[in-house]
Structure formats: structure tokens, C-alpha cells
Structure 1
């Protein structure tokens, strides 16, 4: 794929039509389904309709963006027809089911829910641990996390921006390109859930100015909901003379939609 120049990067409002709309994802998923089946091309709309047990006209209307009824049973048939993985299914169901977003929650509540979560982070003395919001802004971190990654102490520290834009991350994350692709897949899921979120759109716009990130983003419609158990290889000479291998154990606080508590544990 030919790399675009920075001047060709769409603004957030334009770009969100490329990935946040269900029709775009359906076309991309049809292509991936065809490749999985060894066809070398996208599954025809007619075949997807047959797999679902609906008319081709109905499916064409859905993929064109028409307002058609979508029950959970219909979405399940659609996911099966396109051979979607668990993360893609989560995104698809999110199109039908809405939850309270972080935008409606206060950034903090005077020592309430975030306050108790901060206490949970501080209480972790064995593994690096941190708390982030829906846009990967660092809310809290323990002493071990700050020792491993001093950048978390910076004002407005953001995990997604650090991984994708800070040159330091390319030295400390051993398999940076692979991990960057996984972070971008999580960003795509977050934007599918909240396409109008200004912070997420700002992150997307800024990382698109990184040629490597733009290439990875344009490589395909990969979506990851949450990276529970994701493995990382780290090079942190100030902590260890040998390479560190850790897994990210992710917990989702019930009353803080979008927030994630993460502990980095030995693999």
C-alpha cells in the first residue's frame, strides 16, 4: 500500500467514517473471511446472506448503511457468517448495545471510586501496576511502575501516546512493531465504541503522523477489545541486565466504564 503524505491525513471527523461505520467494517470483514477460506478475495454479499439465512437485498441494505433492524440473534448470525473472532464480535455487539460512557462520568469523584482504585494500585508491591481511563490516560501507578517507566510521572501521561509516539518505547519494547499493531487494534475498538470522543480522535490524529503507525493502521481492520494476558518482551537496562517477559493482567472496574487496572506479571 502506498504511504500517504502527512498532508493527506484526514481530520478526525472525516476519518471516523472510515472505521467507525458498520458498513466499512462489514466490507473489511468480508474480505478477511474470504482470505480465511482461501478464496483470495472477499466473500460475495450473496454468500454472506445465504450463510445468515436472509435475503441478499437485506444484506446489501445493511452494508450500504441503511437503517435495518438488528437484533442480537441477527448479529450472532452475522458474526458466524463472517467467521468473526471474539474481539470483532464484541465490537459488532457494541453496535447494538450501548453503555454509559466515560464522558458522562467525572474524571474523579473526590476520593470515591477512583480514589479506592488508586489505593488498590498503591497496595501492589510485587508487580508494576497502573490504572488508565478509556483513552489510556494514566490515572494512577505504583512505585514499581514508576521505577520501570519513569514517564508515567509526567503530567498528562498517556500510555497509547507513549507506545506509539515516544522513541523511547521502540528501545524498551523489544517487539515494538508487533505491539504497536496490537495497541492500534485496541484504539480502533475504542473508537468504534466512542467515535465522537475528542481525546480518542486526538490520539488517532497525532499517531497518524507517525509513518510506521499509519502503515500499521492502514494494513487492515484488526480490532482488539482488551488485551488480557498479553505478553510483552521488555528491555529495561536500569531494572534488569536481561530481557524481561511479562504478561498484562487486566481488570475492568465495574463502575468505571472504560477504566482498566493492569498488573505486569512475569510470563
Structure 2
């Protein structure tokens, strides 16, 4: 039987689920998945062009009939993540197929990419989208490396040059700690470091992310904070904090609006809303006096 994970839930879209799985089965032959063609060929019969439902039971190491019930949209028992992953691998799903599988079967988005370490290609059209936004905007990959940004984002930084990696800049840059990010420890470091830890847990084999974590752990300032995190992970959506705007040479508030390009799990599109007068509603002004922006 399909492994049970909690109570059975309603199917998102049975016809779409069946259409997706049937199509994927039809696109694979026995040789594609390491099954002998003789399983399909009887006397005077031609091998089938696609995989049978019983083949998926064999490939996923489940009892006969398990996959048939799953493809038909049977609500009981509810499949676990491990079964969905096994089916996805057996049918050689793409990331788009993986998301559709979760939506059609469980009415939810998958908790992680199907292939966390696969090379992610994000279209150049995102540069046009970022450029068209009226405020600062940028896109980072899974390790917070900046892929696209607009000029309004660049203007925030000294000499109009944005950092190559926003997480590294936020937690390791001396400029960020002393000038760029007012109340650095409480308003920035203790909020973004849990995001770093969560990302590393999600993508533990990401080399660049691992290198960044090790840099943070070795840092005499950020390292102890990272090691003794007492803040729970939270998304930055709607957060408002102080920021030093080097281009304007003044302190502003910034409200963050993150989203994710659907074809690039783990990537982040960040829109920033700047306000040149207001303070965050929960702001406590206990920062040191700001000096003029410095490099480094």
C-alpha cells in the first residue's frame, strides 16, 4: 500500500493528475528505465511503447496495484513525500512536473526541489522585469549570489556597486555592521542568519552555500551569533528596517517584498520599498551614531 502520512485529504485535480502521470508513462520505454523488453513482448506481440502501471510499482518497490490507485486519484491512503519522490524519479520528472504533481495530488507546493543540486537556468527576461520595477529590485540564487539587479538597487551602495553576494554582505561586511545596516545585530544579523541556516539545511550539498556557512562560522563577530541562534526562522516578507542609502547619503527605512521565480526553486526576487521619513513601527533607536559611509 501507499505509505500513509496523516489523514487522507482531498485530491487537488484528479483529471489533471491522471493526464500528467499517463503522459509521463507513455514517454518512457522499458529500456529507458532498465527493464527488459521481454516483459512486454509475448508471442506475436510488439512491445508496448510506454511503461505499464505495474512497472511503476516495480520501480518504486511497492506492492501491485499501488501506483494504479495513485494515478487514478484514490484518496486513501494518502501518499507520503517518500512515495511522491519515488514516483517522480521513476517517471523522470522535471521540476515543473514535480510542482504539478504536488498541486494536483495534495493541493500544495512541494517542500523542496526535486533535484536541489541541478543546474538552474533563469531566463534573461528577468533582467527586464527587474529593470521595470520602480524601486530597488534584485534576484539572488540559492547561495544569495546576485544574478540580476536594477540601477536603483545599485544606488544604495557606495560608488553604486552592489555586492556579489547579499548574505555575505549583510553578515560579514564591516561596512554593513558599522554603517550600512543600522542596529546590525538585532535588526539584521539575528533575522537573516536563521535564513542562512534554513537554506543550508535545504541545500546541504550546495558548494557555494557551504563555503558561505563556513565563512560565517569562522568570523569572530557573526560566528558566535550563528552558533547561538535563539531566533526562529522567518520569511522577510513585509519586514521594515533601517538602511543607510549611500547614494542619497541618508538613513531610510526599507520594507521587503520577496517572491520566487517558479522555474528556479531557492532563487529569490526581492522588491524593496524605500521610505525616506518613516520609522519601523517596532523600531527602538539604540544604535550608535552613524558615521559617513566607509568602504570595505
Does TM-score exceed 0.5, indicating one fold? yes
Distance (whole Å) between structure 2 residues aligned to residue 163 and residue 252 of structure 1: 20
Q: How is 1:202-241 mapped onto 2 (pairs within 5 angstroms)? A: 202-220=211-229, 222-224=231-233, 226-241=235-250
Give the helix-richer structure, 1 or 2: 1
The structure 2 residue matched to 1:146, chosen from 154, 162, 177, is 154
List structure 1 segments (4+ residues) > 6 angstroms apart after TM superposition: none
Distance of aligned partners of 1:152 and 1:227 in 2 relative to their CA distance in 1, 3 Å threshold: farther
Q: 1:152 to 1:101 in 2, by over 3 A?
A: farther
Does residue 264 (structure 1) correspond to residue 292 (structure 2)? The answer is no
Structure number with the bigger relative contact order (C-alpha 8 A, sep ≥ 6) is 1
Counterparts of 1:152 and 1:247, CA distance in 2: 20
Partner residue of 2:167 out of 144, 157, 160: 160
Q: Distance in 2 between matches of 1:202 and 1:127?
A: 31
Query: TM-score if structure 1 supplies the norm length?
Result: 0.56
Q: Which runs of 5+ in 1 are unaligned?
A: 1-69, 73-95
How far apart are residue 201 of structure 1 and its match? 0.8
Are 1:188 and 1:223, in contact at CA under 8 Å, matched by a contact in 2?
Answer: no
Q: Give a deviation string over 1:105-127, Cα, whole Å, max 9, x none.
A: 34x4xxxx431111111112x21
Counterpart-to-counterpart distance in 1, 2:132 and 2:111 = 35
Contact kept, 8 Å, 1:138 with 1:159, in 2: the verdict is: yes
Q: How many residues align?
A: 167
Q: TM-score, normalised by structure 2?
A: 0.51
Q: If you compute each CA radius of gyration, which structure gives the higher value, 1 or 2?
A: 2
Measured after TM superposition, the shift of residue 238 of structure 1 is: 3.6
Q: Is the 8 A contact 1:186 1:223 kept in 2?
A: no
Q: Equivalences for 1:1-267 in 2 at 5 Å? A: 97-101=111-115, 103-106=117-120, 108=121, 113-124=122-133, 126-150=134-158, 153=161, 157-170=164-177, 171-178=179-186, 179-220=188-229, 222-224=231-233, 226-241=235-250, 243-266=251-274
5+ residue gaps, structure 2, are: 1-78, 82-109, 276-296
Shift of 1:261: 0.7
- Give the C-alpha shift of residue 266 in structure 1: 3.2
Question: Could you give the per-residue CA deviations for residues 17-72 of structure 1, whole angstroms, max 9, x where no partner exists?
Answer: xxxxxxxxxxxxxxxxxxxxxxxxxxxxxxxxxxxxxxxxxxxxxxxxxxxxx958
Instruction: Give the Cα separation in 1 of the matches to 2:261 and 2:253.
Output: 26
**1:224 CA drift (Å):** 2.3
What CA RMSD, in Å, does the superposition of the two structures yield over aligned residues?
2.5
In 2 relative to 1, CA 165–228 (structure 1 residues): closer, same or farther, beyond 3 Å?
same
Cα distance in 1 for residues equivalent to 2:154 and 2:234: 26
